[in-house]
A and B are shown apart, each in its own frame.
Chain A
Amino acid sequence: MGKITIAQDKCKGCLLCIGFCPKGLIVIDEKLNKRGVKPVKFSRQSGIPPKAGKEDNECLGCSMCALICPDCCIEVYK
């Protein structure tokens, strides 16, 4: 079982992390960050339900999101 933290004010909204999360646990936030961009957020963190059909998913701590993030926004815990 794992979790991630996202430094939302550094996020540029490239959305690469969303593309590589095998569990679909990263989503786009509704509010803008200080950069004027909608950053991503960890859906497990904020009590947002996961994608339809993936309700049983938990973060594996695989770190794919952190590896691909060009802005080093993500730290991973396991």
Chain B
Amino acid sequence: MPKTKLLMTGNEAMAEGALQAACRFYAGYPITPQNELIAYMAKRMPEVGGICIQAESELAAINMVFGAALVGERAMTSSSSPGISLKQEGISYIAGAQLPAVIVNVMRGGPGLGNISPSQSDYFQATKSGGHGDYHSIVLAPSSVQEAYDFMSLAFELADKYRNPAIVLSDGMLGQMMEPLIVKSKIQNPKSKINKPWALTGCKGRKPNIIRSLYLGEGALEELNLALQKKYKLIQEKEARWEELFLSDAKIILVAYGTMARIAKSVVKRLREQGKKIGLIRPITLWPFPKNAFKLANSQTRKLANFLVIEMSYGQMLEDVRLAVAGKAKIEFLGRAGGGVPSEEEIISKLRKLI
């Protein structure tokens, strides 16, 4: 497929990536730092024959996505932390009704109104299912503008495959930085998408379909929940993704995702040049969390490696790392939030104390 090289912000790259993945419905509400995404959609979506609606609220937007998803369209919304808080009920409904949908969160400082600087403080909200009920959203964490673009296709694919919400977890820095981006020149044909016999299209030639998450009958909701749990187990077995650097001889392994992984990679490079045995695990799916990466890390090195988790938060992914490591190694943490970004120097300074 012919390709083109563009210079684009992470936010715009996600919009273009969605269109390339045959997304033809977007509903959103302006919120910094992702306004570039909705503006890009407002311009580009009509060009590809899709629908872009600036909704009256974040609540309306997620429910419009629910509506678009139930007729079988690839649909998405985007927002930033406080707006994603508003969408939690809608995401729970999408999960309960088993609809596919993509939600982009360009994380900013919190809690409350916070500020518009980047953060990674919504990890819990994304991976522990910020809405009510026993469900999981698939969570993807891009670390570059190219990944921000590429992961949209993956998000829609996984959402359709599993009839589940998928969250693309970005942050204000990644959203607003510009990097070169390789894009496919041809937009994917929406008609070539997966068949959805459950969708509501009018009951011509078939029995009527019902989209629901309410099951009042004896045992009926439990049945749905067991089916969901089975689905989540399958996703955990098959869809965990991560990147690893220098695990075979690392004495300390950095664990970071998204923007923090970029900084972590710089640290690894610098310290390796000085002969220090530092490695990196970069989770790409935050849910399912790549537990196996940690098992492998400790089996590849003959001595147990220790971990340093770095986040723009006060220790959210840290908890999943602890669960994955299961007490078999030491785990240290470096985090800043509220708009603070741990610098290479801070990380190196911490590492020097640990080596």
Q: Do chains A and B touch in the complex (CB under 8 A)?
A: no
Interface, chain B (partner A; CB < 8 A): none
